[in-house]
A = this chain, B = another copy of it.
Amino acid sequence: MTVEALIFDVFGTCVDWRTGVAREVAAATAAKGLQVDSVAFADAWRDLYQPRMEEIRSGGRTYVDLDVLHRENLDATLDGFGIAGHFDEEERAALNHAWEKLPPWPDVVPGLIRLKASRIIAPCSNGSIALMTRLARYGALPWDCILGAGIARAYKPDPRAYLASCEALKLEPAQVMLVAAHNNDLAAARACGLKTAFVARPQEHGIGQVTDLKASSHWDIVAADFPALSAHLDLRNHD
């Protein structure tokens, strides 16, 4: 079956969340004269991401969207850094928008423009429609539509997140390829019948990164970046 649509993990795969969040944290804390390691803050904020979603994936909590979880995690991280008293409700709400202001990796926008010429492209992220829409405007990500948790009301790697995205496009899973920098995301998509493409992002977690440095399985495509992914797909079509 031909790949009719490419759906993308976003945080880490398309955008550099660590740099973007650290930048917003640095600005917000500097404005208050606070000395904070903004990169460590970004990492700590992100570290709460999986455990908080797991409460929902495991059925222990009804679905709430990622903006709500990010906000809860921000409160906890401010506590952990001992600066909770410096941020009121309005300032916390403003800082939570850091996740909408993340720089795309340099190859992403030119790559997506090429990929979009012949296939539907859409995020399949755990971010909400609101978050993904504003992030796309910030980084000029030329999505055709927004898929993922926002329409599935389920968090990856829950199969419903992938399957609802395929269903929304009226495509079979085998007609859809997930593009991700995370092997576990691709494994879950493959288990649902989707095609898979791995693009390493070896600096997602900074220069000391030890995870997802390479493909851990025989994914359908392993590409160095998004333009290379486009070239791989063009070759497949000529087979």
Contact = CB atoms under 8 A, between A and B. Distances in A.
Given A67-B170, A145-B145, A170-B67, A151 B133 contact: no
A21 interface: no
A149 to B, nearest CB: 12
A64 B144 CA distance: 22
Number of copies: 2
Contact of A169 (B130, B147, B151, B168): B130
Give the interface residue-count category, chain A. Answer: 20 to 34
Contact of A130 (B67, B130, B133, B168): B168
Interface string A5-41: 0000000000000000000000000000000000000
Given A137-B144, A144-B137, A129 B67 contact: no
Interface of A: 67, 120, 122, 128-130, 132-134, 136-137, 143-147, 150-151, 168-170
